[in-house]
Amino acid sequence: MTGFVSLSRAMALGLLRDRAAVFFTLVFPLMFLLLFGALFKDTSANAVKVVQVGNVAVFDGLPEKERERLRPVLEIERTSGSKAALEQALEKVRKGEVDGVVYQSDAGSGARTDIGGRDAGTDGQVELRVSAADPAKAGSVRGIVSSIVQEENLRATGQPPRYTLGTHRVEDESVQAIQFLTPGLLGWAVAMGAVFGTAYNLVSWRKKRILRRLWLAPIGTGSVVGARVGVNLALALAQTAIFLAVATLPYYGLQLTGDWWLCVPLVLSATLAFMSIGLVVGAWAKTEEAANGLAQLIVLPMAFLSGSFFPLDSAPEWVQTVSRFLPLRHLADALQGVLSRGESWGTALPVIGGLLLFGAVLTLIARSMFRWDTA
Amino acid sequence: MDQTPAIMAEGLRKRYGDVTAVDGVSLEVARGEFYGILGPNGAGKTTTMEMLEGLRRPDEGSARLLGEPSWPRDPRLLRRIGVQLQASAFFEKLTAREQIRTFGALYGVPPEAADAMLAKVGLTEKAGVRDDQLSGGQAQRLSIACALVHDPELVFLDEPTTGLDPQARRNLWDLLRTINAEGRTVVLTTHYMDEAQQLCDRVAVMDHGKVLRVGAPAALIEELGVESLEDVFLALTGREYRE
């Protein structure tokens, strides 16, 4: 037992003190998450920005409650009513810095009107200028400003509204970027840690003859293998904890669903599967450099083909087919399911079984290739 | 003390493909003896050592250590023997103290005893230094300390002084003499004939997988009528250049 504990400790220390290993298994994938998560965060429309030039009665007269309600969708910047200010504001619209300009051309002032001059009987003509560059933004600016004007019109009549509009948000079921990035990048990180760590360790211990030295110590194979597996599983759990902690920050906004904890057995069984790849690499490679190269040659294409970095929805058919044979693809899909899409055992169990089977087969292959010595 | 021989090997033979690396080696090493296995490169020293240690299964013959067969692997026997394979057989990124404590723990040796062994080889000051920062002599002493940490009765050392400067070699010789004087049986391989002459009670000179001659260095020198063990070695193994 003390042998197992001290070997685990030795391996953990060796891993933590290896700055390159810590960087590539923890920091590097996390950088991708931080970066991609920020880049693809919430691409839907934000509040529209409008410059109000001078006084506009319907805007200035808005009750406080109404202003509060509009704040998330409409941002108003006020300037003086001078001609220069108007010109400046219009220039901003042209450059796309703001989405629209509102100003008031007073009734009967002789100002040109856009709505066919039917301004008799109105207190004011609200003018809105939007850019033609972004029709979607222009549409929402028009909609918001128009609804304010209409509501003010209604209020002016003192009549209760005859029709009202009831709206309610439907739960968004499309996959958000963070829901997709978290499992993909976490899977990639776990794969790197397990494949590289195992392959490098096996080659290095063979070259340095630590394998032989351990053979000559009164310690069971189970303790040696168990210590190595234990350290890798602990690393994978640490990676998972860090990734989830970052992804669920309000800024990135990953919402965990019901049985999200199933990610733990998924990650653990995937670690075993990836370690078995590392064993085959380590059994084949004669030098640490060869082991690193081969591991990179396996992990990076696997990550791309498994959709770790971008979705495979639009990928060609053959890529989809190949990816179904890759453990990382199944891990990423199942992780996405249990973490944020409310899926449960039905998703996780077949994947866990498949990963363990994959690991068992590759371990047997590695065993047949195993060598004690470099020669 | 138990008088079964420390090592009793009979007819050890090992082939790799067409090459017979060890071709019928028989050895007997008494308890407390300092025994050297000498031979040019490729003579079969290392393979012989590995079969004695129980690292490799002999194709033919058998080896008994302290009365127990060394193959198949027997954890109870492993507790009684110490093996130094080479000075780089250390765990990655661990300090000298962490290395010896880890090896000690494999044998159930408490950390204090491991630290005491570190002090014995004069590395207490270097306890916090990582293995790759140690000098050649320090790494050799650490690797010997790791082989001795569980107080074995029989110790195998593979070329312990290769690559060391003369000071470090002399320093290591003193350490090896101390180990032997404490009653341990020591078996070493070496290329240095002066070293074997200084340290060993008896030597076996090997070539082409066979033991050519066994005896005390002084007796061999006298027998062949030469000046030194090096002359004995050259007389037995010839002067042609070896790869």
Q: Which fold has domain B1-77+187-237?
A: Rossmann fold (3.40.50)
Closest-CA distance, B92 to chain A, in angstroms, reads 5
Q: Strand runs (DSSP E) across B166-237, as ranges?
A: 185-190, 202-207, 210-215
Which residues of B are less than 8 Å from A212 in CB distance?
Answer: 55, 85, 89
Which residues of A are less than 8 Å from B108 in CB distance?
Answer: 2-3
**Maximum average pLDDT range among A44-58, A61-75, A77-91, B89-103:** B89-103
pLDDT in tens, B149-184: 999 999 999 989 888 888 888 988 999 999 999 999
Token pair 């590395």 is found at B123
Identity of the residue numbered A346: G
Do residues A13 and B93 make contact, with C-beta atoms less than 8 angstroms apart?
Answer: yes
* Mean pLDDT value across chain B: 92
**Is this complex's ipTM strictly greater than 0.85?**
yes
Determine contact: A11 vs chain B, CB below 8 A: yes
**CB–CB of A18 and B105 under 8 A?**
no
pLDDT in tens, A237-251: 999 999 999 999 988
Closest-CA distance, B26 to chain A, in angstroms, reads 22
A111 pLDDT band, cuts 50/70/90, is very low
Residue A174: per-residue pLDDT: 64
- The stretch A291-301 carries a mean pLDDT of 95
Among candidates A17, A209, A219 on the partner chain, residue whose Cβ is nearest the Cβ of B106: A219
Q: Which domains does chain A have, with CATH numbers?
A: 2-41+176-369 (no CATH), 48-157 (3.40.190)
Determine contact: A374 vs chain B, CB below 8 A: no
A148 pLDDT band, cuts 50/70/90, is confident
**CB–CB of A218 and B76 under 8 A?**
yes
Closest-CA distance, A220 to chain B, in angstroms, reads 9
Among candidates B55, B91, B93 on the partner chain, residue whose Cβ is nearest the Cβ of A210: B91
**CB–CB of B91 and A219 under 8 A?**
no
Closest CA to A375 of A205, A207, A215: A207
Closest CA to A63 of A187, A174, A160, A148: A148
Interface mutation target, options A213, A214, A221, A288, chain B, most CBs of B under 10 Å: A213
Please give the DSSP secondary-structure letter assigned to residue B14.
E
- The stretch A115-137 carries a mean pLDDT of 69
**CB–CB of A6 and B92 under 8 A?**
no
pLDDT in tens, A209-224: 899 999 999 998 899 9
Closest CA to A209 of B88, B234, B54, B221: B88
Determine contact: A217 vs chain B, CB below 8 A: yes
Closest CA to B130 of A2, A17, A200: A17
Residue A99: per-residue pLDDT: 86
Check pLDDT > 70 for residue A375: no
Interface mutation target, options A17, A208, A221, A372, chain B, most CBs of B under 10 Å: A208
- The stretch A338-362 carries a mean pLDDT of 94
**CB–CB of B105 and A209 under 8 A?**
no
A115 pLDDT band, cuts 50/70/90, is very low
Is residue B162 helix, strand or coil? Answer: coil
pLDDT in tens, B112-146: 999 999 999 999 999 999 999 999 889 999 999 99
Do residues B159 and B190 make contact, with C-beta atoms less than 8 angstroms apart?
Answer: yes
**CB–CB of B78 and A6 under 8 A?**
no
- The stretch A112-131 carries a mean pLDDT of 62
Among candidates B76, B78, B108 on the partner chain, residue whose Cβ is nearest the Cβ of A216: B78
Residue A64: per-residue pLDDT: 81
Residue B60: per-residue pLDDT: 94
CB pairs under 8 A between A and B: 71
Residue B182 CB contacts under 8 Å (≥ 6 apart), including other chains? none
Interface mutation target, options B92, B98, B159, chain A, most CBs of A under 10 Å: B92
Q: How far is CA A26 from CA A15, A18, A187, in A?
A: 12, 12, 12
Name the residue ranges covered by the structural domains of chain B: 1-77+187-237
